[in-house]
Amino acid sequence: MLICAVAASALMFVDHRFTRMEEVRAQLTTVVAPVQWLVALPSDVLTWGALALSEQRALVEENRRLREQILHLSHRVQHMSSLTAENVRLRELLGAAARLEAPYITAELLSLDADPFTHQMVIDRGRRNGVFVGQPVMDASGLVGQVTAVSAYSSRVLMVADASHALPVQINRNGLRFVLQGSGQYDALRVMHVPDTADIRVGDLLVTSGLAGRFPAGYPVARVTEVVHDPGQPFARVTAEPVARLQRSRHFLLIFPPEPAPVPDDEMWDLELPDELIPGASLTAATEETD
């Protein structure tokens, strides 16, 4: 050990005093590199094996979750098919017209408004794509808001969380209708003028009622999170949370109004108009009386 210490000290002295030792050090590094690689090889192999096993386990677990999700969605699709068929039969019994599928186009987020007191965003669809002011905007979960300004290639959207935004909604469970207003917060909306005796509960889904004519009926908007009954007050304080992912969604749907279905001629009602509404009927009657 003493000899090694003396040799190391001598090499450090020579390396410090003479510049030619840099070439020797470079040559020694080239010679030692394979040794270092061989020494690190077992550790690298163990690390690679652990990573491969962990990725395989993650893939197996993800595959299992996806299979369960597919099974769950298949069950829901089967249930929805039966409900759709039942709805068609009931509409045939009632003689009601079938609901038309609303056309839509996709859009992507361009920017968010930097003002903390407004909740607006800009999307990459505009007048050239048929976008119009007041058009409903959806994401994969529910209603996001409506278009408030349109340019050639982009549009500005006012979100439902904005304090200046309000829309008519109804409870999906019992059909009670209210007005839902933004509160200025992404995770809270206010249900306005709810009577203290109204049948509204935490967890109720609020959907568009279609009464204002701007939003199609039946689209999910929010879910009730709090119902507070103040003693002596005629109205309850009801808070709801938007079902749309207002702060995370980047892709949206712009909903267009469905085109009315043409009515066949054989289904037109034969109406008998009174004589006073038939052109020329009063003149004929007066001529006959004169004769």
Confirm whether pTM is higher than 0.85: no
Half-sphere exposure of 122 (CA within 13 A, CB side): 10
Strands 235-242 vs 188-195: parallel, antiparallel or unpaired = antiparallel
Strands 120-123 vs 155-159: parallel, antiparallel or unpaired = antiparallel
Which of 51-65, 139-153, 258-272 has the lowest average pLDDT?
258-272
Among residues 246, 60, 93, which one has the least CA distance to residue 165?
246
pLDDT, one tens digit per residue, over 213-272 is 889 888 999 999 999 998 888 999 999 999 999 988 899 999 998 766 555 555 444 444
What's the pLDDT band for 193 if we cut at 50, 70, 90? Answer: very high
What average pLDDT does the chain have? 81
Is the pLDDT score of 41 beyond 90? no
pLDDT, one tens digit per residue, over 72-114 is 787 677 667 767 777 777 777 666 555 667 788 999 999 988 7
Output b/e per residue, 95-111; b: 16+ Cβ within 10 A: eeeeeeebeeeebeeee
